[in-house]
Chain A
């Protein structure tokens, strides 16, 4: 619905009586609101910032040491793209392993059962408490500690299968183990925070209706916890994207290590680092966009706090125009939340 917009300045001068029955509060437009909030000090700071920005852009573009042509040459080169795929693979697998493990650990921690909770806490204590680099090297060198890995019944029972450590622990599996288990420890705290954010009444209502604990967890707790889990969860995933570059110590040719290999040969260090950084930025941007939509999905039914003092302006605008597409003001007359 298109609102009847009138120019507030013009209105003011034309009106004779200051109070009129059909007085309509016309919200100022977006640009006007932005400009109105600026004081002379704001203007001065803005001007300086813009100048600095332009200056930096020019210096980066003009400085031939950046070798932008080399950046362009390598940006889509085969080895870089292969390294990029490796990075994506590492991040995706360890994010999935990390989230699944984290959710399990969080539920164990909150289960109220002594042993599972203790195991969960010990796991988090250990994997958060030691450097990722050490963990990666440890997994990689597992073969030195254990010749073979077997599954069987302890104390002389039968062995179901046994494999040689060195054949299972490739650099890639060591990387997945290191990143995934580490991520699991961090994710478990993120998931736990999400679960703790759920009001106890939600769980009681589900129990009273006869839902089982698993059903309650799956359909009532987790969907609402996701709202709280997503922002720090994506923080973790984006962090992991970059921690994955640490597996270069295991000589897994992911994005950064591939770039390093190239500049070790060509000595074009700066442009290769720029190539890698641009790709990391692109991936992070894509993840942020995905995050935005997932957040919106799990935010259904919730009203987010408006922190800015412009919230009032926006509220007025909503009353008159109706909320913009996909962004509804919820509540208004909630009688129960006090």
Chain B
């Protein structure tokens, strides 16, 4: 097995408060890791440090063998040029809690935009793959719909297709179903399950424990900016070793 994502000693401060206290997380290629933990525990911040939407104050992230966001010089690590970081981000797909679809673009344009701009694909190529991806997430009939015309579940599926269009090596999901009405959660989780079956490497912050049990190779429980416990889904969710994990699970169930 090869390591797809290695986060080492990640520290992140906002102002004077440190919210990540030196986290270590390694994700193998093809592995699905679910991040669980109370709100405010730092799940989003960790995911955002991986693609450098937030710059960590300490530690390094390596994706597919490449340091993310920094270059190693004789004097130590220095931030890389924005263009270089943008290029690295094309390998890291991200799906947000609030979808963040481009409001002025149709579903098809949303999916086809970044491949054309950031991967320099031809219009035809980008559109062809966008059509295929929209069909795969069950939205073939919605090419020309604007985000505001779609339900939350549909928007989130477009957002997943949009991230997949960059042919990422790893996908980050930040509570992809937390903004959805209960009856729309299933359709989004189904898409993610399919991705898991196809061997996509994924890190998923979620509150859907039964989904995590199903899909995750490993569950990581975070609390107060630290990883408290990590292991196979069945163990962490069914027989947690740590008291904090147990307390969290009993609260959420």
Residues on A close to B: CB < 8 A?
199, 201-202, 204-213, 215, 219-220, 223-224, 227, 298, 300-303, 328, 330-338
Contact = CB atoms under 8 A, between A and B. Distances in A.
B147 interface: yes
A220 B110 CA distance: 10
Nearest to A301: B146
A331 B148 contact: yes
Given A210-B90, A338-B179, A331 B149 contact: yes
B50 to A, nearest CB: 10
A204 B90 contact: no
B83 to A, nearest CB: 6
Contacts of A334: 148, 150-152, 155
8 contacts: A209-B89, A210-B114, A211-B114, A224-B102, A301-B104, A328-B149, A334-B151, A337-B152
A201 B100 contact: yes
B99 interface: yes
Contact of A336 (B87, B149, B156, B163): B156
Contacts of B156: 336
B167 to A, nearest CB: 11
Given A301-B147, A334-B152, 7 more contacts: A209-B162, A210-B88, A302-B104, A335-B151, A335-B152, A335-B181, A336-B99
Contact of B151 (A204, A219, A298, A333): A333
A303 to B, nearest CB: 5
Contacts, number: 110
B201 interface: no
A202 B101 CA distance: 7
Nearest to A223: B104
A331 to B, nearest CB: 5
A199 B147 CA distance: 14
B118 interface: yes
Contact of A335 (B82, B92, B184): B184
B94 interface: yes
A215 B155 contact: no
A301 B82 CA distance: 30
B211 interface: no
B102 A202 contact: yes
B30 interface: no
B96 interface: yes
B100 A202 contact: yes
Interface residues of B, number: 45
A227 B104 CA distance: 10
B90 to A, nearest CB: 4
Given A208-B89, A220-B102, A302-B103, A335 B146 contact: no
Given A208-B89, A212-B83, A201 B147 contact: no
A328 B147 CA distance: 13
Contact of B96 (A204, A211, A303, A338): A204
A179 to B, nearest CB: 31
Given A207-B89, A208-B51, A301-B105, A213 B82 contact: yes
A215 B92 CA distance: 18
B102 A336 contact: no
B104 A209 contact: no
Interface string B133-173: 00000000000001111111101100100110010000000
A201 B94 CA distance: 12
B98 interface: yes
Contacts of A213: 82
Interface in B23-82: 51, 53, 82
A330 B100 contact: no
Nearest to B98: A201
Top 3 closest pairs, chain A to chain B, by CB: A335-B152, A336-B152, A210-B90
B108 interface: no
**Residue among B53, B119, B149 having the largest count of chain A Cβ atoms under 10 Å:** B149
Contacts of B83: 212
B195 interface: no
A199 B87 CA distance: 24
Contacts of A331: 148-149
Contacts of B51: 208
A220 B102 CA distance: 7
Contacts of A227: 104
B148 A301 contact: yes
A211 B104 contact: no
Contacts of A207: 53, 86, 89
Contacts of B151: 333-335
A197 to B, nearest CB: 11
Contacts of B153: 335
B180 interface: yes
A206 to B, nearest CB: 8
A302 to B, nearest CB: 6
